[in-house]
Amino acid sequence: MDWQTSEDTVPSAPITEADARLLRARPPATGAWRDGDPVGGRRFAALGSFRTEGGRELPGIRLAYETWGELDADGGNAVLVLHALTGDSHVAGDAGPGHPTDGWWEDIVGPGRALDTDRYFVVAPNMLGGCQGSTGASSIAPDGREWASRFPYLTIRDQVAAQALLADRLGIGTWAAVVGGSMGGMHALEWAVGMPQRVARLAVLAAPPSSTADQVALNSVQLEAIRIDPRFAGGEYYDEADGDGPHRGLALARRMAMLNYRSTIELNQRFQRSWQSGVSPLGRGGRFAVESYLDFHGNKFTRRFDANSYITLVEAMNSHDIGRDRGGVEDALAQVTARTFVLGIDSDRLFPVEGQQRIFRGIRSTIDDELVVLASDFGHDGFLIETEVVGAHLRRLLAA
C-alpha cells in the first residue's frame, strides 16, 4: 500500500487540511497519544489502582477526558457522552496539536446545539484501554515500558466502572443524561442497568443488548488481520528502531470494519463501478474508486490509533451482554429507571434494528410509544452523520 497522499488514494472529494497533515508522513509504530505530546483540550484524572472483572490489578489508571460548559453547584446538569470504538474524547472542536481530527459530534455538542453547553456540563472520556490519553496498552507501566501485550483483558463493565470513578472525582452523583452510540451505547446501557440511581436520562443509539455470535465472528477476523502482520510482533512493537509498526494489519482491520459501518446502498450509489485511475478496468494497474476509499480510511486510521488498543477495545465489545449474571437481558433491562430514548438505523448491518427493538421492549421508561428507526442510507454511521435528526431526538429526551 502506498502511504503517500495522491489523487488516486482519496475518491469522491478533496481531503481536508487536517487529513493532509495526518497523511504526509509514514505512519508511526503507534498512532496513540503519548505523554509529552500536545495536550489539546484534554484533562486527566488519576483514579488510583483498579481491579478488572478478571481479577487483574492495574496499579494506577488514568482517564483522559474533555468538558464543555459549566457544572452547576448541585452537579445536576452533567451529561456524559460516550464514544464509539474508534472515537475519543474530542467530541467537539477543531483538529490541531494533540487532536489529529475534528470533533466527531461537532453538530451535537456546543452552545445552542442539542447538547447545549450554555445549559449543560458535557463530559466525554476516552475509555479505559483506549489510546488517546487514557490508560491502555500503549501507556507506560510501572517498570518504565509500555504495557503492550501485558495489558489486561477488559470488559464493558470494567470501562464503565472506570467512568464511575471519574464521575466521583468530578463530583457528579447523578447524570442528567448518559448518551452513547455503538460501543458507547453499550456503555450507556451498562450505566443505566448497573447504576440506575446515577442516570436520570438515557440515550442508546445503534447499540445491541449483547454482542451476537455473528458480531463476534466479524470482530475475530479484524483482530486476526492485526495479529498476522509480522510487525505486530505479538504486541511488542513500540521499540521498533525504524518506527515501523503493524500498519498493514491495522489498516486492513479498519477497512473490514468500514464495510459494516456503511450500507450497501451508500457504497453502491456513491461509487457504482467508477474507476479511480485512467487505466481501463479491463486491464491491470488501476483500481475501483471504492477500493481507494477503503485504503484512504485504513491509511488515515493508522495515524491516530494503536493496534493493541484496537484489540483491547474490540474484545471488550465482544464481552458485552447486559443480561450476564442478571437473569438474562429482559430482567436486566427491567432495572432501568431512566427516561430513555432508543434509536435504531434501518440500514445498520453491524447492529441491526432487532437489537434496539429488544432494548426498547425491555425498558419500561421509554419516552416513545415505539422504537425510533432512523431511515438513513449511511448504515451504522448514520448516528454520527444524520446529526439534525439525532439532535432533535436528544432535545426531546432532555425535555422529558
User: Could you confirm whether 380 is annotated as catalytic?
Assistant: yes
Single out the catalytic residue among 99, 247, 320, 380. 380
User: Could you confirm whether 143 is annotated as catalytic?
Assistant: no
- Render the burial of 237-255: b for 16+ CB within 10 Å, e for the rest: bbeeeeeebbbbbbbbbbb
Per the DSSP assignment, residues forming a β-bridge with 201 are 339
Single out the catalytic residue among 295, 321, 348, 381. 348
HEC string of the chain equals CCCCCCCCCCCCCCCCHHHHHHHCCCCCCCCCCCCCCCCCCCEEEEEEEEECCCCCEEEEEEEEEEEECCCCCCCCCEEEEECCCCCCCCCCCCCECCECCCCCCCCCEECCCCEECCCCEEEEECCCCCCCCCCCCCCECCCCCECHHHCCCCCHHHHHHHHHHHHHHHCCCCECEEEEECHHHHHHHHHHHHCHHHECEEEEECCCCECCHHHHHHHHHHHHHHHCCHHHHHHCCCCCCCCCCCHHHHHHHHHHHHHHHCCHHHHHHHHCCCECCCCCCCCCCCCEHHHHHHHHHHHHHCCCCCHHHHHHHHHHHHCCECCCCCCCHHHHHCCCCCEEEEEEECCCCCCCHHHHHHHHHHCCCECCCCCEEECCCCHHHHHHHCHHHHHHHHHHHHHC
The rounded Cα 202 to chain-centroid distance in angstroms is 18
Asked whether the beta carbons of 397 and 366 are under 8 A apart, the reply is: no
φ and ψ of 78, to 5 deg: -90, 135
User: Could you confirm whether 348 is annotated as catalytic?
Assistant: yes
Single out the catalytic residue among 182, 211, 263, 309. 182
260/263 Cα distance (integer angstroms): 7
What are the distances in angstroms from CA 292 to CA 12, 118, 254, 277? Answer: 10, 41, 13, 10
Enumerate the active-site residues. 182, 348, 380
